[in-house]
C-alpha cells in the first residue's frame, strides 16, 4: 500500500452537517481498501481564482494509505459529488 494525500475544496455554502457527512463518506470510501491516517479541516479560505462563481472554499486534507486501484474510484466519487469544487490526490 502506498501513502497518499488528497486535498478537497468544498463549496462554502455547504452547512456544517453536510460537511461532516462528506468527510465521513470519503473516509468510509478510503477505509474500504485502505486506511485513513489523518483528516485535517483547514476551514474556509480565499481561492486564488474564482471557481464556479465561488471566491472561497472549505479545504479538507486527507492523509491515507491505499492500494493504487482505490485512487480511480476516489477521484470518480469526487467528480460526481456536486459539493466538491476542486480536488487533487498526490502520492507521497
pLDDT tens digit sequence for 3-38: 999 999 999 988 889 899 999 999 999 998 889 999
Positions of E strands within the chain: 2-10, 34-51, 54-66, 84-91
Res 52: pLDDT? 87
Res 75: pLDDT? 93
Res 65: pLDDT? 93
Closest-CA residue to 7 (of 48, 58, 61): 61
Q: What is the sign of the dihedral through the CA atoms of 4, 61, 89 and 69?
A: positive
Res 1: pLDDT? 86
- Structural domains in the chain, CATH included, are 2-91 (3.30.70.60)
Closest-CA residue to 74 (of 10, 41, 13, 31): 31
pLDDT tens digit sequence for 27-75: 999 998 889 999 999 989 999 999 889 999 999 999 999 998 899 999 9
Amino acid at each position: 500500500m502506498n501513502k497518499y494525500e488528497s486535498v478537497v475544496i468544498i463549496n462554502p455554502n455547504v452547512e456544517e452537517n453536510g460537511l461532516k457527512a462528506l468527510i465521513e463518506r470519503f473516509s468510509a470510501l478510503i477505509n474500504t481498501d485502505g486506511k485513513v491516517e489523518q483528516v485535517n479541516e483547514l476551514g474556509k479560505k480565499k481561492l486564488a481564482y474564482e471557481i464556479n462563481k465561488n471566491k472561497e472554499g472549505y479545504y479538507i486534507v486527507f492523509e491515507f494509505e491505499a492500494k493504487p486501484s482505490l485512487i480511480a474510484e476516489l477521484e470518480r466519487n469526487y467528480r460526481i459529488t456536486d459539493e466538491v469544487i476542486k480536488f487533487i490526490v498526490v502520492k507521497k
